[in-house]
Amino acid sequence: MLHMSIERPFMLDIVKNVKFALTKELTQREENPELEGEKSDAKEGVNKDPNRTEPGEQRLKQLGEKLDVECNDNETRIVAVVGMGGIGKTFLAKKLLEKLKRKIGSHVFIESVRETSKAHGFDKLKLQKTLVDGLLPNEDIICDNENPLEVWKDHLLKKKVAVVLDDVHGKEQVNALLGNCDWIKKGSRIIITTRDKSLLKGVEMVSDIYEVPGFNDSDSLELFSTYAFDDKSCKFMELSRKFVDYTGGNPLALKALGEELLGKDKGHWEARLVTLTQRSNEKIRKELILSYDELNEHQKDVFLDIACFFRSQDENYIKTLLHCSFDAESGEAGKEVRELSDKFLIRISEDRVEMNDLIYTLGRELAISCVETIAGKYRLLPSNREEFINALKNKEERDKIRGIFLDMSKMEEIPLDYKAFVGMSNLRYLKVYNSHCPRQCEADSKLNLPDGLEFPICNVRYFHWLKFPVEELPCDLDPKNLIDLKLHYSQIRQVWTSDKATPRLKWVDLSHSSKLSSLLGLSKAPNLLRLNLEGCTSLEELSGEILQNMKNLILLNLRGCTGLVSLPKISLCSLKILILSGCSKFQKFQVISENLETLYLNGTAIDRLPPSVGNLQRLILLDLKDCKNLETLSDCTNLGNMRSLQELKLSGCSKLKSFPKNIENLRNLLLEGTAITKMPQNINGMSLLRRLCLSRSDEIYTLQFNTNELYHLKWLELMYCKNLTSLLGLPPNLQFLYAHGCTSLKTVSSPLALLISTEQIHSTFIFTNCHELEQVSKNDIMSSIQNTRHPTSYDQYNRELPRHWYEGRVNGLALCVAVSFNNYKDQNNGLQVKCTFEFTDHANVSLSQISFFVGGWTKIPEDELSKIDSDHVFIGYNNWFYIKCEEDRHKNGCVPTNVSLRFEVTDGASKVKECKVMKCGFSLIYESEGSEKVSRDATFDANSKIEESKLSETKSYKTAEYDADFYGEGAQGLETFDKLTLLNPLISEVH
């Protein structure tokens, strides 16, 4: 006992020191999850690839470049490191400071400026003293002066400094610590970390900003596995990826979720995955809620609205919708949205407001827990029958309900009392929808209102109700704040019996409300932007008086209003898009806006266009497809003056025999199925034309193109031109020619195209079912492709390739496949011949595989199902890229020499049973000696392994020669196959 008592003080000291060290290490790990992740490999004794970077190393490198940690110049650099909570700002700053210490002796890390100010209030004197104390540790800094930086400026200017201002959250803190920067010696380095980018606006001394990105997928998975598995084995790979995706690469979240799941079984993981968006991890919540707590009441208002109702919506839509939430003195919603973005609580991407999954979960939690805000409590009503009914029964809470988004797909039928919504004075957003039916046309409302509906609410901005079961909106609804009204597939006959003032209404969607017969109730909507009446089949006329008041209307959609005969005589100067598609009784069109940019008249009963259409100088698209009664466009004598017109659709105008002259600026011209007897001569003068469709033009016998004029034509469609016999002078840069079903076609011009090839250009030439194509034309087609750039001759190789075959002047790989079509009919998915190129060792063990498409076609949306009734040859070329990949795989040894090919025909989803591979072959393509050109005389090896057929004898073919990946379909009557019907070379980049 005496012995123990003597050692006791020493033991206590040891315990104290060990405890201190452990506490310090734990604190570092708690603050810097990335750091612990970096240490984990060393701790576990894992031998890592020396060339592999640690998780997040790239971020450190990027920030180091902005900061110039090597101090290669003598300029002062002040870099702000910004990002959401837990993203690793503090960790990066500490790591960079460690590097800067080697170059700059005087340094200080001022941590947690936010927490210090929050705990003790903003104290400029104390902040400056902390800064000076750290930079001048040997000086006795007196605290009673109002400006220590000014007092000690001369001392500070004697040496460069490295400073980190961590977790700053106010401009006053930046100004207090940096002042006007006159105390900073040139060449110094200063880092400011903050989760609020807005405080840097107007701070001129900041030279650069680094927005910290999340970890990439591989780094995220590695860091997550470090904490989720003792042995880093990542047992539940698919589940792990889902958790990693949820974190968005946030290091703190990766660590916290990994720790939470450590040691748990798969069932627990799956159950937790379901609740991820409903219940935050406590550590993540604690970190992220700091940003929320600093918001003012208006910002909280907008944040929770977005989290609950409008995630991933259009930015301008959200700003407009939320603008009514503010009074004149509180600012605009747009300002609040921008500030939330600056604080990394939302992200603006491609004009949409996105929200990180972590923050989205936090927002929903706050909403469900009924956080008090300006307008009361937020409430997300659950989408199940019992809880919805219980919420409606709770009369004391009704006035605190802000939004109801009700998914009817998860509910049974509910009969609602007509006073169900009475008392919800703060209700702003109401949406009744069905998520199981994307088009929502087959969905049942399931909310029945047998006694009608009372809705004495004036704050509602957003009113969406799928299959609204009442014939008009409640008369006691005050729409003064209503912005978005959507009642698609509803039972309404009119919006209201009498007119109501709707000064803020911008979007109205009454589509497929088959009983709607009047727009009564919308006459006082001067700011309406979009009116969708698609499928309102009972609508026979539109009130000119009502429409005329819609001064700001941009889009009017009347598609499928089969009872509509005409438009009223009105003028809507703001209207840009008018849709009358499928209005089968619509006979007489008149211009109601001279500022139209898009006009759809397809499927109407009009027989002519009024001359005033030629005055639409801003019109870009005119769609007259399937206007079966349209006989002439001669009344529009000034169509040629429409300088903006780029697309004209006349397909299906079966009575149209002539085409207007002098329309020179067209890019797309569709004349499929018209009665035009010959190609309009003025088409050759359309130098800007990109796409021309003459399919199903039975009266056209020959086509002669002016190759000098149609230089930009890329897409030519001639399907089912059954009387077309010759195709001459094709445009030089044609990339797509679809001549399927031209059963009389005999002659095709040579060369087929003069395309300057690159690896980005895709070219397709299809002559399927062109049974009369002459052998000379087929040979010319083959020759024109082959002679574009590369001459003939290259060597033949069998399955056993010579050693080091990949060295030298190998330029690509050519393939040839013969396919039998047995009662094949294209089922609208297109068709592709896929090749799997497999390398094996001498024991026939597979070493690697390369798969790519040899040839085929994708379905054109407007085409009918195509039947192929004969055998076809597919000829293809793939460039050096795929072979180069094989070389890279075996860069430390010899590339395999045993090779086999396997072909299959697919429709993009599954194998096509009606198609059988008959013969195949391949060859490498070599550049000619002493020439930059490539030899292309192809002798295909048909003894290579093929699928579903016996090996066949070797045959010789000509092939195409583009640098881009090449493949083709079909060659009728090629000298080696009697039954082959056509050649269809196709060039495309293979991904």
Residues of 53-79 as b/e, b for ≥16 C-beta within 10 angstroms?
Answer: ebbbeebbeebbebbbbebeeeebbbb
Does pLDDT of 882 surpass 70?
no
- Region 196-225 average pLDDT: 90
- pLDDT tens figures, 617-630: 999 999 999 999 99
User: pLDDT category, 31, cuts 50, 70, 90?
Assistant: very low
Cis amide prior to 9 (ω within 30 degrees): no
pLDDT for position 37: 39
Domain 57-211 CATH assignment equals 3.40.50.300: yes
More confident residue, 790 or 861: 861
Own/partner long-range contacts of 61-67 (Cβ < 8 Å, ≥24 apart): 62/210, 63/92, 63/96, 63/210, 63/212, 64/96, 64/99, 66/208, 66/210, 67/96, 67/100, 67/189, 67/191
- pLDDT tens figures, 529-554: 999 999 999 999 999 999 999 999 99
Dist. CA 392–CA 416, nearest whole Å: 10
User: pLDDT category, 22, cuts 50, 70, 90?
Assistant: very low
Does pLDDT of 865 surpass 60?
no
Residue 243's H or E segment, with its range, is helix 237-247
Q: Give the single-character DSSP code of 308.
A: I
What would the two tokens of residue 276 be? 């991820």
What would the two tokens of residue 917 be? 């591979």
pLDDT for position 68: 87
pLDDT for position 942: 34
pLDDT for position 346: 96
pLDDT for position 129: 85
Residues of 110-123 as b/e, b for ≥16 C-beta within 10 angstroms?
Answer: bbebbebbeeeeee
Q: Give the single-character DSSP code of 257.
A: H
Q: Which residue type occupies 261?
A: L
Nearest-CA neighbor of 374 among 295, 456, 475, 311?
Answer: 295
pLDDT for position 978: 28
Own/partner long-range contacts of 752-757 (Cβ < 8 Å, ≥24 apart): 752/780, 752/781, 752/784, 752/785, 752/985, 753/784, 753/788, 754/788, 755/788, 755/962, 755/987, 757/788, 757/789, 757/962, 757/963, 757/964, 757/987
Does pLDDT of 165 surpass 90?
yes
pLDDT for position 492: 95
- Region 224-248 average pLDDT: 88
pLDDT for position 175: 85
pLDDT for position 905: 86
Does pLDDT of 223 surpass 80?
yes
pLDDT for position 600: 98
Q: Which residue type occupies 726?
A: S
Dist. CA 58–CA 427, nearest whole Å: 48
Q: How many whole angstroms from its chain centre is CA 852?
A: 25
- Region 818-826 average pLDDT: 76
Does pLDDT of 242 surpass 90?
yes
- pLDDT tens figures, 454-477: 999 999 999 999 999 999 999 999
pLDDT for position 850: 73
Q: Largest Cα–Cα distance of the chain, in whole Å?
A: 120
pLDDT for position 751: 65
Segment of 135-149, 317-331, 909-923, 949-963 carrying the highest mean pLDDT:
909-923
Nearest-CA neighbor of 791 among 621, 933, 603?
Answer: 933
Q: Environment class of residue 804 by beta-carbon count within 10 Å: exposed (0-12), middle (13-18) or buried (19+)?
A: exposed
User: pLDDT category, 860, cuts 50, 70, 90?
Assistant: low
For residue 738, the SS3 value is strand
Query: Phi and psi at residue 543, in whole multiples of 5°?
Result: -75, 120
Q: Give the single-character DSSP code of 695.
A: T
pLDDT for position 560: 97
Dist. CA 623–CA 557, nearest whole Å: 14
- Region 89-97 average pLDDT: 94
Does pLDDT of 9 surpass 50?
no
- pLDDT tens figures, 896-905: 677 777 888 8
CB 624 within 8 Å of CB 651: no
CB 969 within 8 Å of CB 988: no
What would the two tokens of residue 977 be? 């196959």
Query: Phi and psi at residue 917, in whole multiples of 5°?
Result: -75, 120
pLDDT for position 533: 98
Nearest-CA neighbor of 189 among 175, 206, 176?
Answer: 206
CB 19 within 8 Å of CB 237: no
Does pLDDT of 58 surpass 80?
yes
More confident residue, 801 or 511: 511
- Region 522-527 average pLDDT: 93
What sign does the CA torsion over 488, 494, 500, 501 have? positive
Nearest-CA neighbor of 583 among 556, 609, 564, 566?
Answer: 564
Does pLDDT of 227 surpass 70?
yes
For residue 835, the SS3 value is strand
User: pLDDT category, 694, cuts 50, 70, 90?
Assistant: very high
pLDDT for position 239: 94
Place of tokens 């700001």: 552
pLDDT for position 117: 80
CB 740 within 8 Å of CB 866: yes
Own/partner long-range contacts of 612-616 (Cβ < 8 Å, ≥24 apart): 613/589, 613/639, 614/638, 614/639, 614/641, 614/642, 615/591, 616/591, 616/642
What sign does the CA torsion over 697, 700, 705, 709 have? negative
Lowest mean pLDDT among 83-97, 286-300, 412-426: 412-426
pLDDT for position 230: 84
More confident residue, 291 or 146: 291
pTM above 0.95, yes or no: no
User: pLDDT category, 880, cuts 50, 70, 90?
Assistant: low
CB 605 within 8 Å of CB 585: yes
pLDDT for position 285: 95
Cα end-to-end distance, the chain, whole Å: 79
The reply to whether 57-211 and 285-375 are identical in fold is no
User: pLDDT category, 7, cuts 50, 70, 90?
Assistant: very low
User: pLDDT category, 730, cuts 50, 70, 90?
Assistant: confident
What would the two tokens of residue 27 be? 């604190």
Q: In the chain, where are the structural domains located?
A: 33-46+215-231+241-276, 57-211, 285-375, 561-734, 776-987
- Which residues have CB under 8 Å from 830's CB, separation 6+? 856, 857, 858, 859, 907, 908
pLDDT for position 35: 43
- Which residues have CB under 8 Å from 6's CB, separation 6+? none
- Which residues have CB under 8 Å from 47's CB, separation 6+? none
To the nearest 10°, report the CA torsion of 308, 314, 316, 319.
0
Place of tokens 């799997």: 836
- Region 355-380 average pLDDT: 75
Dist. CA 377–CA 395, nearest whole Å: 14
- pLDDT tens figures, 933-978: 444 333 333 333 333 332 233 232 223 222 222 223 333 322 222 2
Q: DSSP readout, 897-932?
A: -EEEEEEEEE-SSSB-TTEEEEEEEEEEEEBPTT-S
Lowest mean pLDDT among 7-16, 315-324, 920-929: 7-16
CB 597 within 8 Å of CB 621: yes
Q: DSSP readout, 406-421?
A: EEGGG---EEPPTTTT
Number of residues assigned to the chain: 991
More confident residue, 830 or 80: 80
What would the two tokens of residue 901 be? 């090919």
- The CATH number given to 285-375 is 1.10.10.10
Dist. CA 66–CA 436, nearest whole Å: 49
- Helices and strands (H and E) in the chain: how many: 22, 43
- pLDDT tens figures, 325-344: 555 444 577 889 999 999 99
Averaged pLDDT score across all residues of the chain: 78
Q: Environment class of residue 249 by beta-carbon count within 10 Å: exposed (0-12), middle (13-18) or buried (19+)?
A: buried
Residue 702's H or E segment, with its range, is strand 702-704
pLDDT for position 381: 58
Alpha helix (H) ranges present in 101-236?
113-120, 124-135, 148-151, 153-156, 171-178, 217-228
Dist. CA 795–CA 559, nearest whole Å: 61
Dist. CA 676–CA 687, nearest whole Å: 21
pLDDT for position 879: 61
Does pLDDT of 659 surpass 50?
yes
- Region 785-802 average pLDDT: 40
- The CATH number given to 561-734 is 3.80.10.10
Dist. CA 377–CA 324, nearest whole Å: 18
CB 251 within 8 Å of CB 87: yes
Q: DSSP readout, 371-382?
A: -EETTEE--B--
Segment of 234-238, 449-453, 798-802, 938-942 carrying the highest mean pLDDT:
449-453
User: pLDDT category, 990, cuts 50, 70, 90?
Assistant: very low
More confident residue, 618 or 756: 618
pLDDT for position 69: 84
Dist. CA 830–CA 952, nearest whole Å: 28
Does pLDDT of 281 surpass 50?
yes
pLDDT for position 839: 76
Segment of 265-274, 747-756, 856-865 carrying the highest mean pLDDT:
265-274
For residue 670, the SS3 value is strand
pLDDT for position 359: 96
pLDDT for position 428: 92
- pLDDT tens figures, 662-681: 788 899 999 999 988 777 77
